[in-house]
Structure 1
């Protein structure tokens, strides 16, 4: 038994992070011993390389605008672990987390004794805590984000009402495969018999994998650019404006507060999943709900403004596909500003390509630095990041990110943009610093 929140977190974080073998057998047994709480939940399942968190946030707000109570399961957290399990956007309380840990801990101890390859991993326990919490505190719908991959992810013991796959890109290749079709096959693992599938902007080879998998599961894929369309409209406000078309649903001048073409794609993907889910339930779909839901969506750490003058933002872009999207966003929204980027990246990412991609934007000035990585995962050194380009007059180094921040602020003008990016763990550290300062 744990008595305090700190003890609960120590129990969770004290577990192994990864499974010894790709299988869901242990997770299914774990949940069976807990009474299979997931069997009583109405769920939407969201996988993808990038865009999962934002898509979950759009879905949450669309469902809430419809008057539903909505549970969400997301990772990683930005400020506190509790964010991972939230009800109507409010994180699980410390007391409820302690209660849930006390519910699963005896079962974990039993599995530790019974199973030769050891009991549940940290993420399996996170998933179990979430299922138990929403079974004990019922909501209308739970939006569940996949942790890693799809096929063997701990969340993949569910049969959702709708499966969503946001994007497919090169990330976690050591675990998921070295080609887009291989990675797509892992993500397509969440496709279940007769459960409709919604896909975001996928390459032709990734979409082919989705279609083939869906056909085997006797279901169909609604894909962005093929079955539903989104057209970005110019706007002088912060955020994005767009038109949307899917079957008989057409909405013009939808507004959302998150910047970037990829956020337009995420909003459209979430909207299609919402329409599909509501249609299944024979529930109303009206324009006011759609407009209000999308307009109110905020997602910490996704081109989030921390300061207005000078403009300081953070973004959790942490792999090469995300940096390609970031470069496009900077060209679209900040072509007339000088852009100072403080970049820190985990060493196991494709940081060479990430640096090179950012420097394709002509008004970008890069300050490469490092941070304390999570657990045993180290950040790439500033020297390693700088050596991503043989010679460049728009890249400098700083020993740590506070020094990089000071260097940028000492150089830039009030009209310029300062962006800190490269890792969700990094921007979590930065966000703490800015928000704690604001609180004082």
Structure 2
């Protein structure tokens, strides 16, 4: 049996594509053979799970969290598998709001390692990845805990992702945009084809907001695979009634019913698309015997928690963290800042990983900032401060400030903003995780 530290050390010893910026997306590295063999030796726990499968570029985690919150309010035991994590590795695997316990996590990772060792005696080249072992752990844990349903977020792409061994009750494609272009393709259609890999024959799919050419592709693939699909904005509609920096009130016209004055404690218009998508999913689950009332939908959305997404973590000055790590997400954040902080002094704290489109992020956000402070994430994939500086300088109203140390960067940012300004920290999930940990908002318990 592993200790928690031993379990983490074992995972870190595996190939982790989340920490590699130079990987090539090919069938040798990315395929479903390893995960299928591993799960087979575990007794194929995923075969017994009822699932919702979520692919897309933006909004996967938020959509998954909202679906989980609604189902939990209805009394269901809901497994939730997401990635990456902000602070604790256990965030990735939870039942409703409860993270997998350290002892449970350690036991399942130990059990999987024993199976991996056994396979290696037969196949010396067998080498599962970090994400494949994590995914196997999630499926085994959810099976052991007898969850009523598991909400599963795709890790990368869709077609060759380790999660794509399930046959979900409902599949979801959240907005597709440019990200992981080296692995998935340099254009939206190539990326969308990979995301569409989760669409199974005769399945049910909910499609969120997409660019027209992406939507046309997804519709065609659904028709070819005889999958029934519902589109947010057409089959499921929403209307914003009130927006603040902390919450929003909106109506949804669903597939089955209309829902008035829903309250969501998440900021940004994109969260309304995510919430409408979640409503569509839970309505469709009712066709599979799940009993979800209007009150469950209202309370589930009201009580959802998904940290690090346009989250205000402090005041005087307001300090906002957001996980925006591509151009499209940065544009969402920019619209939010323009809506609520246009007349305020904005100090932007920015750091990104090497494989991210820093210029697309900078184009959206740097012109809004009175000053930009560049810092460094504690990651081997972090883009060096000098390189970020050189790439974003032309988009800034003044020369960016360089601070390698995050704590120093935050201190200077708050001083620059003053009590009436705003500090916006963004560019990476990992950066936001470090800030939330440093501020004591999320800790590894």
Given that residues 249 and 264 in structure 2 are in contact (C-alpha distance below 8 angstroms), is that contact kept between their aligned partners in structure 1? yes
Shift in CA distance, 193/234, structure 1 to aligned 2, threshold 3 Å = same
Given that residues 4 and 103 in structure 2 are in contact (C-alpha distance below 8 angstroms), is that contact kept between their aligned partners in structure 1? yes
Shift in CA distance, 141/364, structure 1 to aligned 2, threshold 3 Å = farther
Aligned to 1:378: 382
Deviates more, 1:408-417 or 1:76-85: 408-417
Deviation at 1:240?
1.2
1:291 maps to which of 295, 298, 315: 298
Shift in CA distance, 274/248, structure 1 to aligned 2, threshold 3 Å = closer
Deviation at 1:386?
4.2
Q: Give the distance between the partners of 1:125 and 1:33, measured in 2 at CA.
A: 13
2:397 maps to which of 393, 399, 403: 393
Aligned to 2:20: none
Q: Give the distance between the partners of 2:278 and 2:443, measured in 1 at CA.
A: 32
Q: Does 1:271 align with 2:279?
A: yes
Deviation at 1:429?
1.1
- Map Cα deviations across residues 378-426 of structure 1 (whole Å, 9 max, x no partner): 3242443343343743442222222221221222222221111110111
1:409 maps to which of 408, 411, 414: 414
| Length, aligned pairs only | 434
Q: Give the distance between the partners of 1:265 and 1:246, measured in 2 at CA.
A: 12
Equivalent position SS for 2:186: coil
Aligned to 2:119: 111
Q: Does 1:368 align with 2:374?
A: yes
2:361 maps to which of 354, 361, 364: 354
Deviation at 1:237?
6.9
Q: How does 1:141-160 map to 2 (within 5 A)?
A: 141-160=149-168
Q: Give the distance between the partners of 1:68 and 1:126, measured in 2 at CA.
A: 23
Deviation at 1:157?
0.4
Deviation at 1:252?
2.1
Q: How does 1:326-341 map to 2 (within 5 A)?
A: 326-341=333-348
Equivalent position SS for 1:359: helix
Q: Which runs of 4+ in 1 moved over 4 A?
A: 436-439
Q: Does 1:419 align with 2:424?
A: yes
Aligned to 1:89: 97
Aligned to 1:309: 316
Equivalent position SS for 1:155: coil
Aligned to 1:434: 439
Deviation at 1:51?
0.7
Given that residues 59 and 271 in structure 1 are in contact (C-alpha distance below 8 angstroms), is that contact kept between their aligned partners in structure 2? yes
Shift in CA distance, 380/207, structure 1 to aligned 2, threshold 3 Å = farther
Given that residues 353 and 388 in structure 1 are in contact (C-alpha distance below 8 angstroms), is that contact kept between their aligned partners in structure 2? no
Deviation at 1:301?
1.2
Task: Give the root-mean-square deviation of aligned CA atoms.
Answer: 2.0
Shift in CA distance, 95/285, structure 1 to aligned 2, threshold 3 Å = closer
Q: Give the distance between the partners of 1:321 and 1:102, measured in 2 at CA.
A: 39
Q: Does 1:60 align with 2:60?
A: no
Q: Give the distance between the partners of 1:391 and 1:174, measured in 2 at CA.
A: 25
Q: Give the distance between the partners of 1:247 and 1:5, measured in 2 at CA.
A: 45
Deviation at 1:198?
0.5
Q: How does 1:253-268 map to 2 (within 5 A)?
A: 253-268=261-276
Q: How does 1:152-191 map to 2 (within 5 A)?
A: 152-191=160-199
Given that residues 358 and 364 in structure 1 are in contact (C-alpha distance below 8 angstroms), is that contact kept between their aligned partners in structure 2? no
Q: Give the distance between the partners of 2:270 and 2:213, measured in 1 at CA.
A: 19
Q: Give the distance between the partners of 2:256 and 2:96, measured in 1 at CA.
A: 29
Equivalent position SS for 2:151: strand
Equivalent position SS for 2:373: strand
2:47 maps to which of 39, 44, 60: 39
Deviates more, 1:221-230 or 1:82-91: 221-230
Q: Return the TM-score normalized by structure 1.
A: 0.94
Deviation at 1:233?
1.9
Equivalent position SS for 1:305: strand
Deviation at 1:320?
1.1
1:203 maps to which of 202, 205, 211: 211
Deviation at 1:270?
1.1
Equivalent position SS for 1:118: coil
Equivalent position SS for 2:439: helix
Q: Does 1:11 align with 2:17?
A: no
- Map Cα deviations across residues 293-351 of structure 1 (whole Å, 9 max, x no partner): 10101111112222123211211111111101111111122223222110111121100
Q: Does 1:251 align with 2:259?
A: yes
Aligned to 1:128: 136
- Map Cα deviations across residues 39-93 of structure 1 (whole Å, 9 max, x no partner): 1111101111011111111011010111111110011111111111101111111
Q: Return the TM-score normalized by structure 2.
A: 0.93
Deviation at 1:266?
0.8
Q: Gapped runs of 5+ residues in structure 2?
A: 18-26
Equivalent position SS for 1:160: coil
Q: Give the distance between the partners of 1:422 and 1:200, measured in 2 at CA.
A: 23
Deviation at 1:355?
0.8
